[in-house]
């Protein structure tokens, strides 16, 4: 007999490490944009595994691909070639304009690989002493030691010090601060095209283009963390394409596996040569199961009609959030984002609004203290966006009564 929500939570509290805070919801089934909890309650999911489930929950085509590949070959290690591996590498390098790919198991692991590649490239080219990587305050790059050291949030460092040396942090969008930090010890700049966990913060106009120009002038690698923004989330294959950039290294995760563990490092030819045999690897990354699924997922995401629909859906969501902002200037400080990665910053903590939305049957995440983040599946329906917007307006008015009346 299946467990109740209360039983699932109690069992988890007894046996799971208490390192994450979970909402008091135990999900047991999903299909498309909808999920159901252990009590049979239905929710419309605008978290999507934190921008991971690009095609929603339990897409039938993905199940078929995994089942077909499982009948052939699961895992062989990196000691051997496999066809899905090289075909996915070809697809991603062509779509990105980069030259080489390395596959791993998560976004954090991809960032670890990018950090190693940048430092090894610099050591090979110039010798020791130029190994520093400049990243942004308010950034998020993962929870492993290298990735968390690159992350510009001191509250995430507490208790784990010392952080790995060789990282500097400057305010996101502050070009002058970046110029000052990018001295002769620096080998790379690591940025998110849109800061995700930091509160859905897009770059100021012209900023990323100016960063790329600075990197070229000072012979510094431009590394972009596209773990959350990449693979259709912003309406283009990669977010950097909105800004006309050609980065040296790009990291991917999340939508690459749509819930199946997978990550990737894409690289230009020159830095890729720094990681020769024996310098970096992984046991399970690039396994046929993950690669076959990734090949199918990415092929569908790169379909021009699919991306056109993502852009149309993005406009609908953006317009609705802007209208809510205009209607509650006392509460909503800004509505912004890129594509189907949108945020609403409140003048109050956002957690109570997220909780009220759950009561109404909508799942959204509260991040950065005062921000509600909306990252639905890329195939969300227009009417589902309208339902969310209606529920959001109600939840805000119920949770934070107007203060501008009278």
> In the beta sheet, which residues pair with residue 201?
195
**CA-based Rg of the chain, rounded to a whole angstrom?**
21
213 catalytic per annotation: no
DSSP notation for 335-391: EEESSS-EEEEESS-SHHHHHHHHHTTEE-EEETTTEEEE---TT--HHHHHHHHHH
Largest CA distance in the chain: 73
Q: How far apart are CA 135 and CA 220, in angstroms?
A: 13
| Helix (H/G/I), strand (E/B), else coil: 57 | strand
254 catalytic per annotation: yes
Length of the chain counted residue by residue: 406
- Cβ neighbours of residue 315 closer than 8 Å, sequence gap 6 or more: none
Q: Which of 55, 140, 238, 374 is catalytic?
A: 140
Q: Are 235 and 215 in contact (CB under 8 A)?
A: no
In this structure, the strands spanning 221-225 and 186-191 are parallel
Q: How far apart are CA 284 and CA 76, in angstroms?
A: 8
Q: Which of 100, 102, 103, 254 is catalytic?
A: 254
Of residues 249, 270, 245, the one with CA closest to residue 114: 249
Token representation of residue 17: 């490490």
Q: Are 2 and 26 in contact (CB under 8 A)?
A: no
34 catalytic per annotation: no
Q: Which of 225, 238, 240, 248 is catalytic?
A: 225
User: Which residues are known catalytic residues?
Assistant: 140, 225, 254
């Amino acid at each position: 007999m299946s467990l109740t929500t209360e039983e699932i939570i109690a069992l988890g509290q007894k046996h799971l490490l208490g390192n994450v805070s979970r909402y008091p919801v135990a999900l047991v089934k999903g299909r498309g944009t909808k999920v159901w909890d252990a009590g049979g309650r239905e929710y419309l999911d605008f978290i999507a595994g934190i921008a991971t489930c690009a095609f929603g929950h339990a897409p039938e085509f993905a199940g078929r691909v995994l089942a077909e590949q499982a009948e052939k070959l699961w895992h062989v290690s990196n000691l051997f070639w496999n066809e899905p591996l090289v075909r996915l590498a070809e697809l991603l390098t062509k779509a990105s304009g980069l030259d080489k790919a390395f596959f791993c198991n998560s976004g954090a692991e991809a960032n670890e690989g990018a950090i190693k590649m940048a430092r090894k490239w610099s050591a090979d080219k110039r010798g020791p002493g130029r190994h520093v990587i400049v990243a942004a305050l308010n950034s998020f790059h993962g929870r492993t030691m290298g990735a968390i050291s690159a992350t510009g949030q001191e509250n995430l460092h507490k208790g784990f010090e010392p952080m790995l040396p060789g990282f500097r942090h400057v305010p996101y969008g502050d070009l002058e601060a970046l110029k000052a930090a990018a001295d002769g010890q620096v080998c790379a700049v690591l940025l998110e095209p849109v800061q995700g966990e930091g509160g859905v913060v897009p770059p100021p106009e012209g900023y990323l283009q100016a960063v790329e120009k600075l990197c070229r002038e000072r012979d510094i690698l431009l590394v972009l963390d596209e773990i959350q923004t990449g693979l259709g989330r912003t309406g283009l294959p990669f977010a950097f394409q909105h800004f006309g950039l050609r980065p040296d290294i790009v990291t991917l995760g999340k939508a690459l596996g749509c819930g199946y563990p997978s990550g990737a490092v894409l690289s230009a030819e020159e830095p890729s040569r720094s990681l020769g045999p024996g310098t970096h690897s992984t046991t399970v990354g690039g396994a046929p199961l993950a690669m076959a699924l990734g090949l199918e997922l990415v092929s569908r995401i790169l379909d021009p009609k699919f991306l056109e629909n993502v852009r149309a859906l993005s406009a609908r969501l953006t317009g609705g959030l802007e209208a809510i902002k205009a209607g509650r200037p006392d509460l909503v400080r800004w509505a912004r984002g890129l594509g189907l990665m949108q945020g609403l910053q409140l003048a109050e903590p956002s957690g109570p609004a997220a909780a009220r939305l759950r009561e109404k049957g909508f799942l959204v995440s509260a991040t950065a203290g005062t921000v509600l983040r909306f990252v639905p599946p890329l195939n969300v329906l227009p009417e589902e966006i309208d339902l969310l917007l209606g529920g959001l307006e109600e939840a805000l008015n119920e949770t934070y009564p107007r203060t501008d009346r009278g």
